[in-house]
Structure 1
Amino acid sequence: KESSILVETTKVLYTYIILYIIFAILPEYVSEHWKEDDFYGFQFLNGLNPKVIKRCSELPPNFPVTEEMVKPFLEEGSSLQEEVKKGNIFLSDQKKMEGIPPRAYNGKPLHVTAGLCLLYLNPENKLMPIAIQLHQQPSEQNPIFLPSDSETDWLLAKMFIKNVDSMDHEAVQHLMKTHFLAEVYTVAALRSFSGIHPLYKLLIPHFQYTLFINTDGRPTLFGPDGALSIVCSLGYDGLTELMRRALSETTYSSLCLPEDITARGLESIPNFYYRDDGLKLWDIINSFVKAVVEYYYPSDSEVRKDNELQEWISEIFTHGFLGNKASGFPESFHTVEEVIKFITMVIFTVTVQHAAVNNGQFDYYSCVPNISLLLRKPPPTTKGQSSMETILETLPNVGETVNFEAMVCLLSETYSDMVPMGSYPDERFQEPAPKQMIKEFQAELSNFSEAIATRNLLLKIPYSYLDPAHIENSIAI
């Protein structure tokens, strides 16, 4: 009994420590370190948008970085080509932003850059930006900025890269790939499954608040007069076009974390806690889903003849992914293995992935110079012409900043009635076997939560977004 009390007390204490870190230490840390290149690189792995960076096997032809440009920032005696071969060069490329019209601001259009950022994993295992080009096509008016440029030139270049990264984060990675995909899965389930279907019982707790939060948030957050449309450089029409482009490029494998990590060549990059925690949670979810699905579908033939299941995936493919066969999304299910993988992806998306891109918004957005959705002045076209006054004129004004901070504070809020990941409070399953599977699933999540708490005690910047105790069971905010 004493041991149980000690465990519960430790959990409560850890929760208070995490809340203190989130709402006090982390925003303060960001405000103190936002200018630093190693912290800038760290955010590509463990910040709000860990889905863009990839290993660079060769430089894009439209990004003419030379050996002479970056040699001073590499290990002594090494070269860019050698570091590429070693797998130490990484790239963030926001080419899908190119040509999207920005919104008007005081009667004039704002500026959105489809930038490229080259990063280097140095011998200290720090990911450092070493070259930035703010537009896709190189020209004299589109120089490659370097860490050796003036402090304000380099800061401005990094700010414009983060500006487009933030719009991709909010519109694509957060809204489209978690909220709106969850809505597709939810509506299809309500249209296709009866209330007694075992997969309905499995999935519905993970869809509990989806339709409410999306219906409420679509006009107030994303609509033409919504908060997001007002506080960012693209505006409603631009954000809509960005999501349209992103949906056409979205593949099934990109939503399956193990395949996505491999495709981006990020299997071995160190200090990548989003990957480490995400893969562990993918495995935990997959083991649970496998047990439940195999219990109800002992053979592939059971899958093929389940009309409700086939209707569900057909609805998703047709209405969610517009029948795009190139996306790799299944049109129908033929095997038990296919069902297990797809449901794993669905549950992962509405719990883990949403937490990864949502829960840290106040941490990183609270310091506007670190990341801003809105930049008022055009990007630099020549070097040596900027100053700290330029930066201040580029950032949002006080009123815009307050509106932005209010939005991210709301989106990062944790409510007292929060339902943690792995909860099945309605006890829809009657059979002993799935009930036991749920208990084992919850135990695995609890054990992993304790492992994350232990790991985080050793980290200068704790990564707690994928702690199961702080992940919502469905998208609720």
Structure 2
Amino acid sequence: MVDYEVTVYTGDRVHATTINPVHIKLVGTEGESARTWLRSLVIFRGAVATYTVSCPKSLGQLVLIELDKRQFFILPGDAWFPDKVEIISPEKTIYTFPIHCWICDSETHRYREGKALRIFDESNSLGQYARQQELSQRSVDYAWEFYGPGMPDTIKADGAMTLPDEVQFSFTKTTEFAFTAATGLVELQLKGLVDNQENWKDLDDINDVFRNKGTPLSDYVQEHWTEDWLFAYQFLNGVNPTLIQRCKTLPGKFPVTDDMVFIPDGSNLSNELKKGNIYLCDYKNLDGIPANTVQEKQQYLTAPLVLLHKRPDDKLMPIAIQLKQTPSKDNPIFLPTDSEYDWLTAKIFVRSADFSEHQLNAHLLRTHLLAEVFAVSLLRNLPMVHPIYKLLIPHTRYTLQINELARVRLIGPAGVFTLIAASGGESLSKILARSLSSITYRSLCIPDNIDDRDLQDLPNFYYRDDGLQLWNIIFEYVQRVIKYYYKSNDEVQRDSELQTWIGDIFKHGFLSQLQTGIPQNFTTVSELIKFATMVMFTCSCQHAAVNSGQYDYGGWMPNFPTTLQRAPPTKKGTTSKSTILETLPPINVTAQGMATVWLLSRQSSDFVPLGHYLEYHYTEKTLRQLQKDFKSDLDKLSITINNRNKGLEIPYTYLDPKNVENSVAI
């Protein structure tokens, strides 16, 4: 007889304990052990327990283990969360089997040894069979579902609680999320704001919505929101830094002339265009979209054009706003020299348009829905033993459940967004489809995106500065990992699972639209490196950039209105303080909007920052060291960003690595 020393590590998380009998079988190249009971009456959370499995002879090289947990007589069934199993063979070889998932049923579950293997590395028939069985089951568990015309497909599920256990929230996340949502709603109900459909009589009264929930920046925004410099600053470092671009030739639909705008220091618009000091924000994505009806009242959504000027002191300032795409007499170009309320009204319409463009394109589509596509395709097409699965799986944590919840509670027929946003309801699907049809691969890769928008030298653009550094750090880490496994382009081309994965993304995420530039297959190592970098950046950094500041900039509603109740002015001189109050959303819509952005900006206590790995999927020493180096590089960047922020009136913190979550989890 020979003995195998088996050490089982149970996860230190709520409800990880099991009172059900657990059995293990070891499977090797020369045979398999008997199904052996791990002799514990209770396997506690956080426990590390060692057992002996005896066999008549050596099993050769261990390929996989089988685990099962069976309900015992009258004892209730329960869930168990093993982190990993380590085995020392009679030959003193150490094998590690990463698990990191719930076992909730009485089925037999197979887990591979931790060394990453590509499909053409599988020389053993047992490994090949286990690989096929795993993907066959995952194709059922993670099926695609049609979401709507022109929109990315989603996971097929009948609500969040029907998702596979391994992708659901932790107990901590579930409890905190529900508590945060409930406390915000109760507070609004106690204040009598939930059902109050009256208009605001004074802007200062908005303070009563969440008086005790302000952040330093939301308070600052409330104080300065009417000022032109802060209006312009948000195009760089607010929640939607993805729209602004350099403008060297005015579009014909925006006929601003030299004599309309004032340029300091004796220059004029034509000269500043030639110098590259003029920038444009074009909300053409919203053009012609019919606005939603809120509380049986027609709302208004515009598609503005905004012209900005970089002054000699490097401050960016707005110089012209046109609220509709087509020039006409009833579509005036508003200027800073107009009356106070004309100019402020124009800026409010822009900020409301930015709410819709941000929430549906920059936030929902380009982070949440694409992250879901990346997650579903990864889980369907790459087995746990695949090196790219191990690289990307940490960046899918909680994404499928948060999106399922959003489809019901936010953007579903009875969702908050549908009930309070000008772009909710039928408008939402139109905007999403239009956004996806115009998306490009280059726009998802921040170095290319910055180049295409010609923003390389625009001062005070901290989203760009921090984002490019993060991209480079991620790229370097991904490159080292992938080149460890793929030594040649031929190896990439031979990996059929890899090719199926990217083909699935192209089909279900980008609807096979060639103009997107999304790869349909991989032919080189460099193509794989860039794509994996984009996936990691999108699921972590880009989401942090467009999500984390929602309450900072939307906690003061007039700066980020979810909807507007009056049509945009068709001529100058028709606005006043009272018309602005009539234009802004009513009390209950304001309250629900502020409560929503407050909820979506909260950080859970089980937040996992970028570069931190609670679960170790790689077992090779080289790969573990690469992860440590990755975290070290991120820590150095965090120090640099903190030092810079000390000198800023508005610190830019959203892309500080310690504030960037590993995945789209909120």
- Bucket of the pairwise TM-score, normalised by the shorter protein: over 0.9
Question: Deviations along 1:184-239, whole A, 9 cap, x unmatched?
Answer: 00110111001100110111011011111111121101112211122211222101
**Partner AA of 1:467 in structure 2:** D
1:330 alignment partner, one of 493, 509, 519: 519
1:222 alignment partner, one of 403, 406, 411: 411
* Residue of structure 1 equivalent to 2:364: 175
**How far, CA to CA, are the matches of 1:39 and 1:227 in structure 2?**
28
Match runs of 1:87-98 below 5 Å: 87-98=276-287
**Partner AA of 1:218 in structure 2:** R
**Partner AA of 1:360 in structure 2:** G
Relative to structure 1, the CA distance from residue 420 to residue 23 in structure 2 (aligned partners, 3 Å threshold; closer, same or farther) is: farther
**Partner AA of 1:436 in structure 2:** Q
Does 1:62 pair with 2:266?
no
* Residue of structure 2 equivalent to 1:16: none
* Residue of structure 1 equivalent to 2:315: 126
* More deviation, 328-337/105-114: 105-114
Aligned residues of 2:481 and 2:626 also touching (Cα < 8 A)? yes
* Residue of structure 1 equivalent to 2:218: 27
Give 4+ residue runs of structure 1 displaced > 3 Å after superposition. Answer: 105-108
**How far, CA to CA, are the matches of 2:606 and 2:319 in structure 1?**
45
* Residue of structure 1 equivalent to 2:604: 415
**How far, CA to CA, are the matches of 1:205 and 1:29 in structure 2?**
35
Aligned residues of 1:57 and 1:85 also touching (Cα < 8 A)? yes
2:422 alignment partner, one of 209, 230, 233: 233
Give 1:108 shift: 4.3
Match runs of 1:71-86 below 5 Å: 72=262, 74-86=263-275
**How far, CA to CA, are the matches of 1:457 and 1:230 in structure 2?**
40
* Residue of structure 1 equivalent to 2:435: 246
**How far, CA to CA, are the matches of 1:222 and 1:281 in structure 2?**
31
Match runs of 1:290-439 below 5 Å: 290-439=479-628
SS in structure 1 of the partner of residue 319 of structure 2: strand
**Partner AA of 2:239 in structure 1:** L
Give 1:312 shift: 0.5
Relative to structure 1, the CA distance from residue 39 to residue 90 in structure 2 (aligned partners, 3 Å threshold; closer, same or farther) is: same
**How far, CA to CA, are the matches of 1:224 and 1:55 in structure 2?**
39
Give 1:109 shift: 2.6
**How far, CA to CA, are the matches of 1:106 and 1:191 in structure 2?**
42
How many matched pairs? 454
SS in structure 2 of the partner of residue 67 of structure 1: coil
SS in structure 2 of the partner of residue 455 of structure 1: helix
* Residue of structure 1 equivalent to 2:346: 157
* More deviation, 254-263/419-428: 419-428
**How far, CA to CA, are the matches of 2:656 and 2:214 in structure 1?**
16
Give 1:399 shift: 1.1
Aligned residues of 2:294 and 2:420 also touching (Cα < 8 A)? no
SS in structure 2 of the partner of residue 427 of structure 1: coil
Give 1:469 shift: 0.4
**How far, CA to CA, are the matches of 1:395 and 1:77 in structure 2?**
38
Does 1:47 pair with 2:238?
yes
**How far, CA to CA, are the matches of 2:537 and 2:361 in structure 1?**
17
* Residue of structure 2 equivalent to 1:256: 445
Aligned residues of 1:121 and 1:127 also touching (Cα < 8 A)? yes
Considering fraction of residues, name the structure with more helix: 1
**How far, CA to CA, are the matches of 2:413 and 2:303 in structure 1?**
23
Give 1:76 shift: 2.3
**Partner AA of 1:58 in structure 2:** T
Give 1:24 shift: 2.9
Question: Deviations along 1:236-259, whole A, 9 cap, x unmatched?
Answer: 210111010000000000000000
Give 1:23 shift: 4.8
Question: Deviations along 1:49-79, whole A, 9 cap, x unmatched?
Answer: 0000100010010111011101x2x122211
Relative to structure 1, the CA distance from residue 106 to residue 214 in structure 2 (aligned partners, 3 Å threshold; closer, same or farther) is: closer
**Partner AA of 1:349 in structure 2:** T
Does 1:115 pair with 2:304?
yes
Aligned residues of 2:301 and 2:563 also touching (Cα < 8 A)? no
**How far, CA to CA, are the matches of 2:332 and 2:486 in structure 1?**
59
* Residue of structure 1 equivalent to 2:475: 286
Aligned residues of 2:294 and 2:419 also touching (Cα < 8 A)? no
**Partner AA of 1:45 in structure 2:** L
**How far, CA to CA, are the matches of 1:435 and 1:105 in structure 2?**
53
Aligned residues of 1:333 and 1:339 also touching (Cα < 8 A)? yes
Question: Deviations along 1:371-397, whole A, 9 cap, x unmatched?
Answer: 112111111111111100111111111
Question: Deviations along 1:287-332, whole A, 9 cap, x unmatched?
Answer: 0000000000011111000011111000000111011111100000
List runs of 5+ in structure 2 lacking aligned partners. Answer: 1-212
**How far, CA to CA, are the matches of 2:285 and 2:550 in structure 1?**
23
**How far, CA to CA, are the matches of 1:103 and 1:401 in structure 2?**
16
Aligned residues of 1:41 and 1:119 also touching (Cα < 8 A)? yes
**How far, CA to CA, are the matches of 1:110 and 1:374 in structure 2?**
7
Aligned residues of 1:210 and 1:476 also touching (Cα < 8 A)? yes
Aligned residues of 2:294 and 2:421 also touching (Cα < 8 A)? no
Question: Deviations along 1:148-167, whole A, 9 cap, x unmatched?
Answer: 10000000001111111110
**How far, CA to CA, are the matches of 1:295 and 1:303 in structure 2?**
12
SS in structure 2 of the partner of residue 68 of structure 1: coil
Root-mean-square deviation (Å): 1.0
* Residue of structure 1 equivalent to 2:644: 455
TM-score by length of 1: 0.94
SS in structure 2 of the partner of residue 437 of structure 1: helix
**Partner AA of 1:388 in structure 2:** K
**How far, CA to CA, are the matches of 1:423 and 1:25 in structure 2?**
28
Give 1:104 shift: 1.7
**How far, CA to CA, are the matches of 2:539 and 2:216 in structure 1?**
28
**Partner AA of 1:233 in structure 2:** A
Aligned residues of 2:298 and 2:565 also touching (Cα < 8 A)? no
Which has the higher relative contact order, 1 or 2, with Cα contacts under 8 A spaced 6 or more apart? 1
Question: Deviations along 1:129-154, whole A, 9 cap, x unmatched?
Answer: 10011111111110100001000000
**Partner AA of 1:56 in structure 2:** C
* Residue of structure 1 equivalent to 2:393: 204
**How far, CA to CA, are the matches of 2:294 and 2:377 in structure 1?**
40
Q: Higher Cα Rg: structure 1 or 2?
A: 2
2:290 alignment partner, one of 87, 101, 121: 101
Give 1:107 shift: 3.7
Give 1:37 shift: 0.3
Give 1:442 shift: 0.4
Aligned residues of 1:224 and 1:235 also touching (Cα < 8 A)? no
* Residue of structure 2 equivalent to 1:193: 382
**How far, CA to CA, are the matches of 1:91 and 1:387 in structure 2?**
27
**How far, CA to CA, are the matches of 1:252 and 1:45 in structure 2?**
21
* Residue of structure 1 equivalent to 2:72: none
**How far, CA to CA, are the matches of 1:205 and 1:136 in structure 2?**
43
* Residue of structure 1 equivalent to 2:53: none
Considering fraction of residues, name the structure with more strand: 2
SS in structure 2 of the partner of residue 429 of structure 1: coil
**Partner AA of 1:98 in structure 2:** D
**How far, CA to CA, are the matches of 1:141 and 1:57 in structure 2?**
27
* Residue of structure 1 equivalent to 2:131: none
Does 1:446 pair with 2:635?
yes
